[in-house]
Amino acid sequence: MTTLERLRSNLAALNLTAIDARLETLLENASKQDPAYADFLLEVMSTEADARRQRYLKTRLQLAHLPYVKTFEQFDFGFQPSIDERQIRELRTLRFVHEASNVILLGPPGVGKTHLAVALAETAIQSGQAAYFMTAHDLVTDLGHAYREGRLDRRLRIYLAPKVLIIDEMGYLPLDELGATIFFQLVSARYERGSIILTSNKSYGEWGSIFGDPIIATAILDRLLHHSTTVNIRGESYRLKERRKAGLIPRPEQQHDDSRAVAPSGRAKRTG
Ligand code: ADP
Ligand code: MG
C-alpha cells in the first residue's frame, strides 16, 4: 500500500469524510505553500470540524420545523420604521434565550412577524440552541389529541425540550376551553425555563377574545409577559408592497396608517 492509500484507509476507518473529500487539495496546497506543521494540521482538522458543525446545524435547522429560513440580513428595517432597531440588536445577542425570557411580536398581517421570529430562531440555532416552530393552531390541536388520549404530560415534553419555542399566529383562530387550558399549561411549564417567541395579530387588550375567558387570558399574559420583550409593529404589509411594486395594486395617494390591515381590493382599485 502506498502512503496515500494507507492515509485514505485510516480516514475511512475514523470516518473523517470531509478530510477525505479534500485530501488532494490539502496536500497540494501544503506542497506549494510549505506551511508550518502545526498550521497544516490545523487546516486538516478544521476541514473536518467545520463540516461536522455545518452538518449539525443543518440537522438542528431541520428539526426546528421552520416554515422558511429567513435572516435579519434579509429584513428591510427601512420599510418598517416602527421597529426599534436597537431592541432587535439586543434580541440578536440572545440574552433573552439565556434568561429564558419571551419575545412577543405583535402587528397586522404581512409586517414581518414570522420573518423576525424565524430569524431569531435561526440565530439561536447558529449559536447551538435547539428551537422548535409551530403555529398556535397546530400546537393546540396536537396537544388536544394527546389530552384526549391521556398522554398530555408526555406530549408536552416535546414542547418543553427546546430552549426556544416559536408559537406563530396566536389569535387568528379563537381557542376553545380545552385549548385555552392546554395553552395555559404550556406557558406555565415553560415559565422561567425556556423562551417562547410568539407572534400575534391581536393586541394584548384583545387576548380575552382569543381565549374566550378573560381570567385565563390574564393568567396566561401574566406568565408570558413577566420576563418578556414586546415588539409592536405598526406598518404596512410587505406582501402588499411587493404586489404594488408589481403593478397589481396602485400606490396610495398619501402615506396612511395601515395598521387596520389590508385595504379591501375594491377601494384600492378606485383610488388608482
Ligand atoms: P407576518 O407579520 O404576517 O408574519 P411575514 O413575516 O410572514 O408576515 O412577512 C410576509 C413576507 O414578507 C415574508 O416573505 C417576509 O420575509 C417578507 N417581509 C416582511 N417584512 C419584511 C421586511 N421589512 N423586509 C423584507 N422582507 C419582509
Ligand atoms: Mg406570520
- 124: its cell numbers: 439561536
17, 100: one domain: no
pLDDT confidence of residue 259: 41
Tell me, what CATH number does 154's domain have? 3.40.50.300
Global pTM reads 0.83
57, 106: one domain: no
236 lines ligand 1 (CB under 6 A): no
Range of 21's domain? Answer: 3-63
pLDDT confidence of residue 221: 96
Atom of ligand 1 at shortest range from CA of 118: 6
pLDDT confidence of residue 255: 43
Contacting residues for 187 by C-beta, under 8 A, at least 6 apart: 196, 220, 223, 224
Residue 247 lies in a domain: no
pLDDT confidence of residue 152: 96
60 lines ligand 1 (CB under 6 A): no
13, 86: one domain: no
Residue 98 lies in a domain: yes
99, 190: one domain: yes
Count up the domains in the chain and report the number: 2
Q: Please identify, among 40, 63, 86, the residue that sits at the C-terminal boundary of a domain.
A: 63
Which positions of the chain have pLDDT values less than 70?
249-272
Q: Which of 72, 233, 238 to mutate to test the pocket of ligand 1 (most atoms within 8 A of CB)?
A: 238
For ion ligand 2, residues whose CB falls within 5 Å: 114
β pairing state of 195-200 and 164-170:
parallel
pLDDT confidence of residue 200: 97
Other CB atoms closer than 10 Å to residue 118's CB: what's the count? 24
Ligand showing the shortest atom-to-Cα distance for residue 83:
1
β pairing state of 195-200 and 228-232:
unpaired
93, 218: one domain: yes
133, 177: one domain: yes
212, 106: one domain: yes
139, 102: one domain: yes
Ligand showing the shortest atom-to-Cα distance for residue 105:
1
79, 150: one domain: yes
Q: Which of 79, 115, 122, 242 to mutate to test the pocket of ligand 1 (most atoms within 8 A of CB)?
A: 115
- Using CA atoms, how far apart are residues 162 and 134, in angstroms rounded to an integer? 12
